[in-house]
Amino acid sequence: MTVLSVIVPVHQVREYLTDCLDSILGQPFADVELVAVDDASTDGCAEILAGYAARDPRVRVLTLPTNRGLGAARNAGLARAVGEYVWFVDADDWLPEGALPAVVDRLSRTRPDLLVTAYTRHYPNGGTRHCSLSRINEGRPVPEVFTVRDVPGLLSVLHITCNKVIRRRFLADLGLRFGSGWYEDVSFSYPLLLAAPRISVLDRCCYAYRQRPTGAITCTVSDRHFEVFAHWDRVMAGLASAGNVPDELRHLIFQRMVWHLLQVLGHPRRVPAHRRREFFAEIVVRYRRHLPSGGYRTPGGLVGLKHRLVGHGAYGLFVALRAARRAHLAVVDRVRSPLPLPPIRPARRAPVPAVPATDGLATDGPAVARGGLASAPDRAVAAGGLVAEGVTAVAGDGAAVAGDAGPQPRRRDELTDRTG
């Protein structure tokens, strides 16, 4: 049996597709199949996939007659997969060098039902942010194999599917499939984490998660962002019907629900402005409907304050808080990026009158009388110092001592701290 099936749903990603396919097929591991699902692309992706399938027998292409969405495309690929494990990779992302051998090695050593890997976000400006798994167990070593009850901190990892490698038989027995609509990862990842009897992690970047400036649903203003509520309703309904889930996990999943819904609302390029109040009201409904029976301990800081405002249904205060936060960040950015500084005038050398030399030789510099000491200004010039505006004294080694002019301001690039 093939060890690993990599399922790649494809739709209108011609610009990124070859990078994705090459990153999978070019790994130093041969026992892999690539199931590409063309979800009715019209930008030439079909021709690219056909070329790869003709050259590499590990590539299998499934073409959907109409566009059915990411969840349905993944389900179609899963139905065709034959590998012991399946890995869902989005066609605009890629696998870093060495990721495949590292994943297969971890699978062979721990034999998990679910393997979760670290990943890295890649931004359009070239910046990156590594998402590590090192803190999921509050500083304690993470067991080789565990359940989410043993390491509940795993629930704090973003609910994306692409950093999860799953035993195909376990997934089939569970009967779990992707739901329709946007945010399909939500209603897939949480039931998967709760049900897996053997979880392992690999704290190595095995997935490059591209943050596209355009084209992705995460940066598209649309009413379809309301579809996130159906996926969270599915998660919470499953949680309510499960009798063996500890209260701690119920509490953490409720917290992640509120956090995620506020993330969607807070993004400037998702929920249309005229429907933001309505979206907030839907969050309030879920908050009150799914509030843990034992009460809810809100997080600390600004995040916890937002959660409390949701609990009170205080949309006006929520908007005011966001406005104050934006104003604060604008001030911080202005301080970190001040206006260009005015040019600094070069220091002027003070004229030094010619003094007759004692032996009848003319000199353009100060004279030091035989057997005597030069005056302080003369000693300064002789030492290589400059008499500049605002400098009241010059040390013997030429280092200026600041006077009325004060210290010169630093360059703008020294004052700016931008991390990208």
Mean pLDDT of 210-236: 92
Residue 402 confidence (pLDDT) above 60: no
Final residue before a domain boundary, out of 199, 216, 233: 216
Q: Residue 254 has which token pair?
A: 């409720």
> Which pLDDT belongs to residue 349?
62
Q: Are residues 318 and 357 in the same domain?
A: no
Q: Given this model, what pLDDT does residue 325 score?
A: 84
pLDDT at residue 51 is higher than 80: yes
Note whether 297 and 374 are same-domain residues. no
Q: Are the CB atoms for 99 and 207 separated by under 8 Å?
A: yes
Domain boundary (314, 336, 358) is at 336
Residues 201 and 237 in one domain: no
Calpha distance 364→381 (Å, rounded): 12
User: Of 207-216, 226-235, 305-314, which range is least confident?
Assistant: 207-216
* Residues 256 and 300 grouped into a single domain: yes
DSSP string, 393-406: EE-TTS-EEE-TT-
CA angle 286, 175, 131 (to 5 degrees): 60
* Residue 412 in this model has a pLDDT that exceeds 70: no
What does the pLDDT read at residue 267? 92
| Same structural domain, 168 and 77 | yes
In angstroms, rounded to a whole number, what is the distance separating the alpha carbons of residues 201 and 117?
6
Residue 175 DSSP one-character state: T
| Helix H or strand E encompassing 23 | helix 14-25
Least confident of 70-84, 197-211, 330-344, 377-391: 377-391
Q: Determine how many CB atoms are found less than 10 A away from the CB of residue 287.
A: 19
Query: Which runs of consecutive H residues, i.e. helices, occur in 242-314?
Result: 247-266, 276-289, 301-311
Residues 181, 187, 191: CA angle, nearest 5 degrees:
160
**Together in a domain, 32 and 177:** yes
Element spanning 228, H or E: helix 228-241
Output the pTM of the full model. Answer: 0.78
What distance in Å separates the CA atoms of residue 285 and residue 289, rounded to the nearest whole number? 6
75 with 184, same domain?
Answer: yes
Q: Are strands 4-10 and 32-38 parallel, antiparallel or unpaired?
A: parallel
Integer Cα distance of 407 and 286 in angstroms:
58
With beta carbons less than 8 A apart as the criterion, state whether 84 and 3 touch. yes
Q: What is the pLDDT of residue 353?
A: 53
Run of H or E residues at 122: strand 114-122
| pLDDT at position 348 | 63
The per-residue pLDDT for range 112-140, each reduced to its tens digit, is 999 999 999 999 999 999 999 999 999 89
For residue 386, report the phi and psi dihedrals to the nearest 5 degrees. -120, 140
Residue 72 has pLDDT above 80, yes or no: yes
Q: Six-digit token pair at 336?
A: 């970190």
In the chain, what is the greatest distance between 2 CA atoms, to the nearest angstrom? 110
Helices (H) and strands (E) in the chain, counts: 13, 10
The mean per-residue pLDDT over the stretch 307-328 comes to 93
pLDDT at res. 214: 78
Separation CA 320–CA 299 (nearest Å):
20
Token pair listed for 251:
């509490």
CATH number at residue 175: 3.90.550.10
pLDDT at 336: 78
Amino acid 42: pLDDT: 97
Distance CA 63, CA 46 (A): 8
Please state, in angstroms and rounded to a whole number, the distance separating the CA atoms of residues 409 and 21.
52
Q: For 142-165, how does the pLDDT look when each residue is reduced to its tens digit (9 = 90+)?
A: 999 999 999 999 999 999 999 999
User: In which band, very low, low, confident or very high, does the pLDDT at 93 lie, cut at 50, 70 and 90?
Assistant: very high
Report the domain count for the chain: 3
3-state DSSP assignment of residue 61: strand
Q: What average pLDDT does the structure give for the chain? A: 84
In terms of domains, do 291 and 389 share one?
no
Q: How far apart are CA 380 and CA 399, in angstroms?
A: 10
Same domain? 164 vs 312: no
| Bigger pLDDT: 34 vs 384 | 34
Q: Provide the residue type at 1 as one letter.
A: M
pLDDT at position 346: 66
User: 104 and 201 in one domain?
Assistant: yes
Confidence of residue 415 (pLDDT cuts 50, 70, 90): very low
Same domain, 364 and 379: yes
Share above pLDDT 90 across residues of the chain, in percent, rounded to a whole number:
73
pLDDT tier for residue 341 given thresholds of 50, 70 and 90: low
Asked which of 248-252, 277-281, 322-326, 345-349 is least confident by mean pLDDT, the reply is 345-349
Pairing of strands 85-88, 164-167: antiparallel
* Residue span of the structural domain in which 59 resides: 1-216
Same domain for 273 and 402, yes or no, is: no
pLDDT above 60 (res 373): no
State the pLDDT at residue 352.
Answer: 52
Residue 356 Rama label (left phi>0; alpha psi -120 to 50; beta): beta
Residue 382 has pLDDT above 50, yes or no: no
Bridge partners, residue 33, by sequence: 5
Whether the per-residue pLDDT at 358 is higher than 70: the answer is no
